[in-house]
Amino acid sequence: MAIKIKKKLSLKKIVPRIKAEFVKPAHREEIKELIQDKIQSGNSPVKGYNKFPKYSPQYAKYKGKSEPVDMTDSGQMLFNDLKTWKYAGKIGIRFDSDVAKHHNDGKRRLLPTKNGETFKSGIMDKVKAILRRAVKQAIKK
């Protein structure tokens, strides 16, 4: 004999739980890693931008290669200055370093910061998957 359990869900109660689940540190870290992986592959995570332009000849000599541009000279910018935080059920993402801001304002788009910009579909698909997991977790509670 099968037993069915019905649970009454209220959107007024469940939406705040979904938001709280979505912005948990583990999910923010997962999104941060998606962005880092894309940048380390030499590609912009921003929709409409592809492979980063080659290093300048002077920097290529210092680096020992002209491409792929992986934005990881010391690792500090990509791994220490990329920050995520939560606010109002949303996840904020930014770079703290002036070097990252310089690249983002120039030829190497690191984050979608201009009006109308978004992350590429691969990153957005994974963010949607994280959100689906957050919904499942919120409904379980």
Q: Are 12 and 77 in contact (CB under 8 A)?
A: no
SS3 141: coil
**10 pLDDT higher than 80:** no
Query: pLDDT, tens digit, for every residue of 32-86?
Result: 999 999 998 989 999 999 998 888 888 888 888 888 887 777 566 778 888 888 8
Q: Are 28 and 36 in contact (CB under 8 A)?
A: no
The whole-angstrom separation of Cα 95 and Cα 93 is: 7
The structure tokens listed for 111 are 């984050």
Pick 103 or 72 by higher pLDDT. 103
Percent of the chain exceeding pLDDT 90 equals 30
The structure tokens listed for 8 are 């009454």
Determine the average pLDDT of the residues in 16-38.
90
The whole-angstrom separation of Cα 135 and Cα 39 is: 29
pLDDT at 11: 76
pLDDT range class, residue 90, cuts 50, 70, 90: confident
The whole-angstrom separation of Cα 73 and Cα 56 is: 14
pLDDT at 123: 93
pLDDT at 5: 59
Mean pLDDT of the chain: 85
Q: Are 125 and 1 in contact (CB under 8 A)?
A: no
The whole-angstrom separation of Cα 13 and Cα 33 is: 30
Q: What is the DSSP letter of 73?
A: S
Report which residue type is found at 75: G
